[in-house]
Amino acid sequence: MRLYAFFVLLLTINVFSLDISLNESDVTSKLSSRFLIENPDSNIPGPQPDNNFNYDDHHGGSNNPLENKIYIPVMTLSYAGSWEPFNIKNSIKQFDFFNGNSGLVEFRAYENSHGLADEILLEFYDGEYKDKKSTSINFKYDNSTDFDPINSTFKNNSFTFQLAFYDGPLSFHEKKKCHGSYKISFYDLSTKQPYQKVSNNYKDIQIELWLESPECQISVSAILLNESVTSGSQPLYYASIMTFICILHIYACIRTVKKVIAEEIEGVRTSIMTLGYFIGWDIFLCAFHFYEALISNEFFQFFITPAFAYFILVAVFETRLILLVWKATYYHQYHTINQVRRGITRFYKRFYGFLALFLLGCYFFLPATWFLYLTCPAFIPQIIHNAIYSQRYKFDYNFVFYLGVARALPPIYLKAFPFNIFKVTPVTSFGYIYAGIVVAQIIILGMQSIYGSRFFVPSCFLPPKFNYYVKVNTNQSADEVDNCPICMDALNREPSNAKSSFIQKPVPAYILNMLTPCKHQFHDKCLREWMDRKLECPFCRTKLPPLD
């Protein structure tokens, strides 16, 4: 209960940490007002920079207005907006491989070894989503000559920048250097004047960007706002839902761990491959949210909460669960401590090798649709496991729905939701197909619990099953038959704990008992109840083949 209360507290912190200074209608109206610069007599719009301007002469070194007024909002926040062609007569040659003439643009600044921002990275995307083609523009500026403190503007008529082209995420296309001019202005949204005030709240800053390179035939303009303004309450909703899903996983893990500890057969019935998939996906979500929290100061509290929750899920609960399942399934095969150590070593090598391949696949191929489809059939190993070991699967709602089905929600949100926070191109059909595959697996698991684990396998392909049943003559005297090692009643009579009726029934000529491969005989009811807990002989501890 303390753990549940702790995660409820995390959700509460998320709710009260949201601070939006602009509503969505204000954001829409501000983004819709396009930034237009017209100065046909000059290569650079607006007033020209004074190349002889020096901060040390005007402001005395440490009182640099760049550090006081612009450095903090530039270095601590990220901005997003829309780009469009500024000069239509230029062909925008480097954007020719884009399908459209406008799209999303992101602005980030980086600091040098002296702690000052001196490098800017601009990411131009083909359209409003980030998983399409993109162009990256990276350049350094001179703090002492490029900054105009009166107009809160960076500008330079002659600077060098580097272009990088990508056909998609992590798909590098080309890189080259260009020469051109740029202007970056900081404005106060409330006054529409150059940004002058110094405060701890920089969400009311608007950046207007203009960049031109006749050499590379590029001419674009953009208007950008702080991402916490443009995203609205999306990060809060996303973090709350993801944390809630993780709490469901933790609840299901706790219930499953208790079952495996109480009844070893529950661990034998569970597929290690299915658990490995669950753990791999959770490790990726933990690392992904932690990375997003580090690169985004505005959304740190939103992303760090699910990252921490998934870390607790994997480190505390899921690793313990998969080790218990391994112990229930394979521990009986080893007879010495050295054999156990070697067995655990082999298990960890395969387990961590699988995790490494899974995480590399997530890193290189997400959010590709085909890769998400490959990660969908998580219950297929469980279905195959049931069929191979001929075990009648007991449908566990905690394991199936809280550990399995809830895990399908993040991929559906990422790929099918039209307004996802990560700006991935939505594919509506993906959500229906992905959900259909998950539902089909659940139906098969349910049918295995009703009709047997091999109901879908043709009889000609089934291996012979061990027949436990033997006939015992009830007319034998008590001295001629042994007692059941479990209930200690005579084997030629029904066990005394069997359900009785008020109506006296005639004693049958024989009853069916169960004879194990190790030649030990038990009552049918007694051995079935025992095998629901352990698949070993209660008399000599020999491994028993499962019942279907």
Q: Please report which helix (H) or strand (E) contains residue 103, including its range.
A: strand 103-111
Question: Can you give the pTM of this predicted structure?
Answer: 0.73
Residue 484 tokens read as: 């059941």
Question: The tokens 């939103």 sit on which residue?
Answer: 302
Mean pLDDT by 10 residues, the chain (548 residues): 47 44 34 32 37 38 47 68 68 60 82 68 84 82 74 83 73 75 84 69 78 82 80 85 93 91 82 92 93 83 92 93 89 84 92 92 85 88 83 77 87 88 87 92 89 81 79 74 85 68 58 88 87 79 76
Distance spanning both ends of the chain, measured CA to CA: 38
Give 323's contacts (C-beta < 8 A, 6+ positions apart). Answer: none
Quick one: 464-499+506-548 is in which CATH superfamily? Zinc/RING finger domain, C3HC4 (zinc finger) (3.30.40.10)
β-pair type (521-523, 510-515): antiparallel
Edge-first strand order for the sheet with 469-473 is: 469-473, 510-515, 521-523
d(C-alpha 76, C-alpha 64), whole Å = 18
pLDDT for the residue numbered 66:
47
Residue 430 tokens read as: 């993906």
In the chain, what are the domain boundaries?
28-230, 232-461, 464-499+506-548
Other Cβ atoms less than 10 A from the Cβ of 20: the count is 15
- Compute CA distances 236 → 5, 149, 231, 302, 387, whole Å: 19, 36, 10, 6, 43
- Compute CA distances 251 → 7, 37, 321, whole Å: 11, 57, 12
Residue 465 tokens read as: 């099953």
- Compute CA distances 233 → 19, 330, 373, whole Å: 9, 49, 30
Sign of the alpha-carbon torsion through 308, 309, 315, 316 = positive
d(C-alpha 380, C-alpha 385), whole Å = 8
DSSP 213: E
pLDDT for the residue numbered 48:
38
pLDDT for the residue numbered 300:
86
d(C-alpha 390, C-alpha 71), whole Å = 66
- Compute CA distances 214 → 90, 160, 164, 178, whole Å: 8, 12, 17, 9
